[in-house]
């Protein structure tokens, strides 16, 4: 099993490397833990898929809440959803949505689906939330809207419809359902997921107060382009260190 050393996002030449070596399975477990703290916490719902060099996928188990996932829980499936490693738990049929998407998007190695607290409200409204602050702009023109509830995504037909709706975007709100987010890496997926939920929460609060003035598109575009180019310097590494301090057993 290969071991992955976390890379600093941004300018690695000027930053200390303060994170331990992590296996890909550990990266998935840590992503689930970190996103749970961001509001991706709908009980046992939600899936992460991480493409591996051999074409298989590392995925989280269906039965384990995201704040409980450990490295040893991570499963491996093939491109058809068959379990290859880790039959202690089961792999959700809804992972077909991820598999359908990755067949089209070879530029993305990680996909995340969940029903986070605030983003799900906007998906229920079938609205893309405005950008009111700079963190919200980190995922801006990359958001698609899938406007129908297309049935259970455990069926290939429904999974293909979601993939069609996302197209070349990197995030989507799924009407009356939740979100689907893509990333080039685990770190990239974390940043996009965090920024999407942050944006949905802040926009909800601004509009609850009585509305506000969205950030000018030229400014939000600049920030979104920057996150696409270089990422958010050291954020993922900081979240890994936080999770390891809080519960080192995530690596078990």
Q: What is the CATH number of the domain that holds 208?
A: 3.40.225.10
- 4 assigned to some structural domain: no
DSSP string covering 21-84, please?
Answer: EE-HHHHHHHHHHHHHHTT--STT--EEEEE-TTS-EEE--TTS-TTT--GGG-EEE-TT--EE
Give pLDDT tens digits along the chain (252 positions): 444 444 443 443 344 455 778 999 999 999 999 999 999 999 999 999 999 999 999 999 999 999 999 999 999 999 999 999 998 999 999 999 999 999 999 999 999 999 999 999 999 999 999 999 999 998 877 799 999 876 676 789 989 999 999 999 999 999 999 999 999 999 999 999 999 999 999 999 999 999 889 999 888 888 877 766 555 668 899 999 999 999 999 999
Two tokens at 69?
A: 């996932």
CB-based burial label for 117 (10 Å; 0-12, 13-18, 19+): middle
- Would you say residue 11 lies in a domain? no
Does residue 2 fall inside a structural domain? Answer: no
Residue 3 lies in a domain: no
Given a contact cutoff of 8 angstroms between Cβ atoms, the answer to whether 110 and 189 are in contact is yes
Position 65 in a domain: yes
Is 12 among the domain residues? no
End-to-end CA distance of the chain: 15
Query: Is 140 a member of any domain?
Result: yes
Q: Which residue has the tokens 């068959």?
A: 82
What is the extent of the structural domain holding 225?
A: 19-247
Q: pTM surpassing 0.75?
A: yes
Residue 205: CB atoms within 10 A of its CB come to 12
Question: Do the strands 178-183 and 110-114 form a parallel or antiparallel pair, or are they unpaired?
Answer: antiparallel
Look at the chain and report how many structural domains it folds into: 1
Within a domain: 13? no
Ramachandran sector of residue 157 (left: φ over 0; alpha: ψ -120 to 50; beta: rest): alpha
Query: Are 70 and 250 in contact, with CB atoms under 8 Å apart?
Result: yes
């Amino acid at each position: 099993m290969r071991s992955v050393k976390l890379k600093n996002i941004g300018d690695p030449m000027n930053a200390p490397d303060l994170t331990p070596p992590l296996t890909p399975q550990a990266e998935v477990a840590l992503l689930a833990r970190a996103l749970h703290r961001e509001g991706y916490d709908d009980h046992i719902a939600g899936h992460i898929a991480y493409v591996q060099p051999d074409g298989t996928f590392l995925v989280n188990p269906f039965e384990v809440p995201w704040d409980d996932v450990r490295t040893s829980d991570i499963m491996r499936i093939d491109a058809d959803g068959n379990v290859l490693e880790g039959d202690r738990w089961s792999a959700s049929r809804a992972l077909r949505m991820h598999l359908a998407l990755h067949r089209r998007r070879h530029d993305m190695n990680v996909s995340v689906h969940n029903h986070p607290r605030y983003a799900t409200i906007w998906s229920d409204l079938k609205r893309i939330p405005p950008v009111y602050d700079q963190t919200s702009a980190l995922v801006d023109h990359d958001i698609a809207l899938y406007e129908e509830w297309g049935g259970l995504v455990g069926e290939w037909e429904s999974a293909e419809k979601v993939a069609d709706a996302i197209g070349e975007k990197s995030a989507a709100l799924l009407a009356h359902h939740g979100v689907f987010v893509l990333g080039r890496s685990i770190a990239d997926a974390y940043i996009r997921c965090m920024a999407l939920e942050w944006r949905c929460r802040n926009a909800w609060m601004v509009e609850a107060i009585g509305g506000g003035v969205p950030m000018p598109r030229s400014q939000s575009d600049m920030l979104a382009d920057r996150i696409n180019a270089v990422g958010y310097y050291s954020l993922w590494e900081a979240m890994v260190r936080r999770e390891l301090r809080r519960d080192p057993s995530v690596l078990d």
